[in-house]
């Protein structure tokens, strides 16, 4: 049966129009004037009143970590609970990080992630592939990944999954050949290791040593080094989870010399600052993530970067742990599992503190949550736009209503909400995933209909 979404405002990166939408099966059939749409939908269509609401193309979260082993434990959210929380927040597609662990092939890494995700997802999903062990056979396999729809990769410049500069250079060369793209976690691992050793030797084992040992300079240095490697190879790269002005300035400098750089940031870096690490006891551990939260000035820089179109995507880096898991680091800050939940609240936070606060427009919000990630990660126009022929992935957001974030209400498997008590001025009322109404009045239908998305090559101007 066709569906007719009546009375809403359809938002795209280029503008917004009062228009009705016809969904036919899994696809958007038409978008247009009410009288034309009624005729097209036919008398049998199911009419859904969305008047007063904004209709966004399904949000895409290109940075999640579900069912991931970190610091001797495993994330609180797996693909089931994580995608359930995601879809409630309007995210109809996630891209998680499949990982090749040392000694494994990329094929093995991909098979492991399919095993974790297939049949368990409430929203559509894809994978980036994290490369940690580079050799000629893995280089050959990069083409297999591209053919399998895993067209983006991830490199770490820190952690035990890190790759050195020579390896990064070789991988970039290979990605240029196959038209792949990589996101990179930029932090200088040597500097961090030295600072951590110093802090421990001085007996500074508490949470406040976390930001002190991962300074903005460590991030900016690694970004600069990455971008110089990319400059020589002549390939665009994605700087993931940018946190700070120092890093932003390095990116702007690379762009001034003609490089193409894509930038992602996350709500936690826009809305929270490093004063949270001073909270008593293990309270501050809730906010331990890497890179760490920064200063208010950094938040301001990131907001301005979003408004100026210099930051292309806002993802979550959802990597959730319970307070019990966070307590693994009670005697040693380096043992606190890093990461926070975020998939459930990204859209309403960006609406409230971005659009409603006058920092960005709703069209910019559409770009950074939907259109740009779809283009950057090879899913456009199947995803990222409400247009005839695209997937019927639609977020019905009602502006002008009060809501508040609480751990009690969240679907994520964590026992705390980093932004507990934070006010919201919008609510996600309904979500359609490939034409099916999977969220109604904020309630998620018990259907794990998420499907693997085979992605094409990156295609975003920057």
Residue 318 vs 362, nearer CB to ligand DUC? 318
- Contact by Cβ (8 Å): 263, 237: no
Residues engaged in binding Zn ion (CB under 5 A): 317
- Contact by Cβ (8 Å): 207, 189: no
- Contact by Cβ (8 Å): 280, 349: no
Residues 59-118 that bind ligand DUC (CB under 6 A): 65
SS3 268: helix
- Which of the choices ligand DUC, Zn ion, none does residue 437 contact, using the CB cut-off of 5 to 8 A by kind? none
The residue from 120, 185, 326, 434 that contacts ligand DUC (CB under 6 A) is: 185
CA atoms of 322 and 81, how far apart (whole Å):
14
Element (H, E) at 211: helix 209-212
- Contact by Cβ (8 Å): 145, 174: no
Q: Answer yes or no whether residue 290 interacts with ligand DUC by CB under 6 A.
A: yes
Q: Answer yes or no whether residue 284 interacts with ligand DUC by CB under 6 A.
A: no
In the bound complex, what is the minimum distance in angstroms from residue 125's beta carbon to Zn ion? 16
Residue 40 vs 70, nearer CB to Zn ion? 70
Q: Residue 221: which of 189, 175, 267, 198 has the closest Cα?
A: 189
- Which of the choices ligand DUC, Zn ion, none does residue 398 contact, using the CB cut-off of 5 to 8 A by kind? none
Q: What is the distance, to the nearest Å, from the Cα of residue 439 to the centroid of all Cα atoms in its chain? A: 20
Other CB atoms within 10 A of residue 297 CB = 10
Residue 317 vs 403, nearer CB to Zn ion? 317
Q: Answer yes or no whether residue 289 interacts with ligand DUC by CB under 6 A.
A: yes
CA atoms of 128 and 369, how far apart (whole Å):
17
Q: Answer yes or no whether residue 349 interacts with ligand DUC by CB under 6 A.
A: no
**Binding-site size, ligand DUC (CB under 6 A):** 8
Residue 83 vs 315, nearer CB to ligand DUC? 315
Mask of contacts with ligand DUC, 136-175, x by CB under 6 A?
----------------------------------------
CA atoms of 131 and 133, how far apart (whole Å):
6
- Which of the choices Zn ion, ligand DUC, none does residue 339 contact, using the CB cut-off of 5 to 8 A by kind? ligand DUC
SS3 168: helix
CA atoms of 92 and 87, how far apart (whole Å):
6
In the bound complex, what is the minimum distance in angstroms from residue 337's beta carbon to ligand DUC? 8
The residue from 13, 236, 338, 341 that contacts ligand DUC (CB under 6 A) is: 338
List residues near ligand DUC by CB under 6 A. Answer: 65, 185, 289-290, 317, 319, 338-339
């Amino acid at each position: 049966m066709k569906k007719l979404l009546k009375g809403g405002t359809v938002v795209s990166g280029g503008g917004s129009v009062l228009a009705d939408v016809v969904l036919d099966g899994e696809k958007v059939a038409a978008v247009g004037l009410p009288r034309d749409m009624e005729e097209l939908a036919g008398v049998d269509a199911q009419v859904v009143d969305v008047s007063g609401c904004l209709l966004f193309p399904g949000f895409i979260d290109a940075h999640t970590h579900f069912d991931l082993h970190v610091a001797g434990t495993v994330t609180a959210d797996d693909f089931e609970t994580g995608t359930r929380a995601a879809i409630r927040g309007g995210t109809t597609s996630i891209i998680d990080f499949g990982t090749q662990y040392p000694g494994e092939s990329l094929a093995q890494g991909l098979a492991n992630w399919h095993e974790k995700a297939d049949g368990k997802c409430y929203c559509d999903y894809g994978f980036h592939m994290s490369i940690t062990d580079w050799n000629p056979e893995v280089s050959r396999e990069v083409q297999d990944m591209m053919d399998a729809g895993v067209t983006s990769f991830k490199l770490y410049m820190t952690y035990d999954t890190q790759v050195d500069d020579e390896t990064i250079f070789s991988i970039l060369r290979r990605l240029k050949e196959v038209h792949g793209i990589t996101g990179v976690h930029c932090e200088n691992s040597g500097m961090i290791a030295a600072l951590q050793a110093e802090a421990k030797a001085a007996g500074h084992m508490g949470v406040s040593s976390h930001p002190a040992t991962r300074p903005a300079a460590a991030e900016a240095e690694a970004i600069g080094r990455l971008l110089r490697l990319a400059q020589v190879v002549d390939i665009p790269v994605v700087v993931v989870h940018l946190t700070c002005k120092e890093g932003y300035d390095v990116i702007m400098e690379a762009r001034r010399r003609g490089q193409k750089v894509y930038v992602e940031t996350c709500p936690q870096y826009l809305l929270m600052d490093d004063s949270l690490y001073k909270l008593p006891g293990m309270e501050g551990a809730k906010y331990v993530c890497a890179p760490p939260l920064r200063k208010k000035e950094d938040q301001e820089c990131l907001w301005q970067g979003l408004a100026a179109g210099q930051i292309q995507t806002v993802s979550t880096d959802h990597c959730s742990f319970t307070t019990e898991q966070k307590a693994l680091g009670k005697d040693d800050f380096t043992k606190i599992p890093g990461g926070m939940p975020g998939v459930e609240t990204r859209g309403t936070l960006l609406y409230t503190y971005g659009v409603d606060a006058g920092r960005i427009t709703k069209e910019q919000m559409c770009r950074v949550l939907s259109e740009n990630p779809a283009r950057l990660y090879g899913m456009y126009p199947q995803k990222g736009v409400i247009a005839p022929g695209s997937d019927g992935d639609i977020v019905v957001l009602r502006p002008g209503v009060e809501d508040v974030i609480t751990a009690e209400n969240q679907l994520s498997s964590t026992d705390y909400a980093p932004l507990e008590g934070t006010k919201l001025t919008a609510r996600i009322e309904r979500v359609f995933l490939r034409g099916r109404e999977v969220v109604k009045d904020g309630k998620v239908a018990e259907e794990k209909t998420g499907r693997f998305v085979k992605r094409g090559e990156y295609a975003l101007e920057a």
